[in-house]
Amino acid sequence: MLYHKIFCCVILTYFLLISTPLSFGFKDLGEAYCKALNYSFKIEKTELGERGVCVLPNNEVVDAWAFYEGKEGKGYDYCSLINSSLVIIRDREICGEVGECIGCEFPNETKASLIALLNISLKEEVCGDNICAVGENHQNCPKDCPSGGRDGYCDGIKDGICDPDCIFFKTREKDPDCIKTICGNRVCEFGETQNNCCKDCGCPSGFHCIENKCVKVFSPTVYFVIIFVVILLAITIIIKTKHTTKDLLSIG
C-alpha cells in the first residue's frame, strides 16, 4: 500500500512538471542583442513555429539569432558600427567558461565579446535590482542604470563621463562630456585618425601602433634578406682582398 502511494505521488509530480511551463527569468540572446542596439524586436509566426526577428534601421527584418551571429544584417551589427570586425572568439579569458563567443576584433588586434561591449544582461529587467538589464536605461530606470553607462540611451548629462551611447548613435553633441575625444577607448571617434590616435583607429598594413604612433614593422623575411646580402658582400670583399694580395705578391 505504501509503495502504491509513493508510485502515485511520483506519477503526479511528473505530470505537473511536464505540464507547467518553467520560467527561469532569462532572455533570448538574439533578443537581448537586438534591443541593446536599440533596434525593434518582435516575434513572428512561421510554418515551423515562432521566431524572434530584429527590425533594422533600413526596415529589413532579420532572424535575431542569425543577426547576433553575423549571418544576417551585415553592416548593421555592432562591430561594423564601431569600425571593427565581427569574429568568433575562442578564449576563456574573454568568453568565460564557455570558451567561445561572438565578439569584435579591433584594428589594433584586440578582441572583446559582444556581451561585454554592450553590457548585455540576459536576466529579465526588474527596476531596482541593481542590474541594468536590456530594456532598462537611465531614463526609465536610473536606479539600475547610472548616467554615462552603456544602456542604449544617450542621457546627455554633464557628469564627467562621455556616454558611449551618444558616440554609438552618433549624437555626441547631446552630451557635453563627449565634445572632447578620448584616445584609447578602442572606438575610432570623430576627429581621431590613424595619425593622431592609432590606439583606436589602428594602422595601415605593415605598421604597428607603438606608443600611439604607426611604426613600420619589417617582416622576418626582410631581415634575413638583409643579413644574407651583408654576408654575401663580406665574402666578396674577402675574396677580392685575397686576389689583390696575391697579385701584389706576384708583382713583388
198-245 pLDDT, tens per residue? 999 999 888 889 889 999 876 667 667 778 888 888 888 888 777 666
In a domain? residue 224 = no
Q: Are 168 and 178 in contact (CB under 8 A)?
A: no
In a domain? residue 81 = yes
In a domain? residue 84 = yes
Q: Give how many domains the chain has, as a whole number.
A: 2
In a domain? residue 93 = yes
The one-letter code for the residue type at 148 is G
Closest by CA position to 148, among listed 163, 136, 170 = 163
Closest by CA position to 138, among listed 128, 151, 125, 129 = 151
pLDDT digits (tens, 9 = 90+) for 62-81: 999 899 989 999 999 999 99
Q: How many CB atoms lie within 10 A of CB 85?
A: 14
The whole-model pTM stands at: 0.45
CA atoms within 13 A on the CB side of 32: 20
C-alpha cell at 242: 685575397
In a domain? residue 130 = no
In a domain? residue 10 = no
In a domain? residue 231 = no
Residue 45 belongs to domain spanning: 29-117
